[in-house]
Amino acid sequence: MKKVSLLIISIFFAVQFCNSQIIGTNIGNIAPELKYKNPDGEMMSLSTLRGKIVLIDFWASWCKPCRIENPNIVSAYEKFKNTSFKYGEKFEIYSVSLDKSKKSWKEAILKDRLNWEFHVSDLGGWQSKGARLYSVRSIPTNLIIDKDGKILAKNLKGARLHRFLEGLKK
């Protein structure tokens, strides 16, 4: 009887373990929560975007490659923001700035016409908690997550970003 009980308990925990979702930064993982202030001082959480396809974009105003990539990201946002996808409704961007200067960060948002709502930073530069959590070693760096927060892709830039999003459409 004890052996049967131990077997049932073991099977129960094995099933629970297999069904659990790993939080991490690899494709297939659930993206770790990010919660930082926007330029106006409001806290904005990544988890509030559940249900949508989200591009998490790590960038900075002082980063020339980031600023060169920004028009592509703006174009993707305009093209896909109201799209229905297989793995989520609509497209949103959660921009995480590695700036230290709030003024430079705000100016870059305006100048590059980054017209989405979710801009956050802890103004920690390379010591940013979000960058450390996501092991960001260079910028621009991005990840795409689905409606459940699962990481679908990483570091899609230029036309590759657009093609990937096209492929997710219903």
The CA distance from 15 to 74, in Å, is 43
* Residue 75, domain CATH: 3.40.30.10
| Whole-number pLDDT of residue 16 | 43
- In a domain, residue 13? The reply is no
Q: Name the nearest CA neighbour of 103 among 80, 121, 87.
A: 121
Residues 6+ away with beta carbon under 8 Å from 20: none
Of the two residues 90 and 16, the one the predictor is more confident about is: 90
- What six digits make up the tokens of 24? 């991490």
What share of the chain in percent tops pLDDT 90?
Answer: 86
CB half-sphere exposure, 16, CA atoms < 13 A: 6
Average pLDDT, the chain: 91
The CA distance from 153 to 168, in Å, is 11
| Residue at token pair 């980054």 | 114
Question: What range does the domain containing 89 cover?
Answer: 25-168
- In a domain, residue 18? The reply is no
**Above 90 in pLDDT, residue 33?**
yes
- In a domain, residue 81? The reply is yes
- In a domain, residue 4? The reply is no
pTM: 0.87
Q: Name the nearest CA neighbour of 145 among 21, 17, 38.
A: 21
Q: Name the nearest CA neighbour of 74 among 123, 105, 124, 119.
A: 119
The CA distance from 33 to 45, in Å, is 7
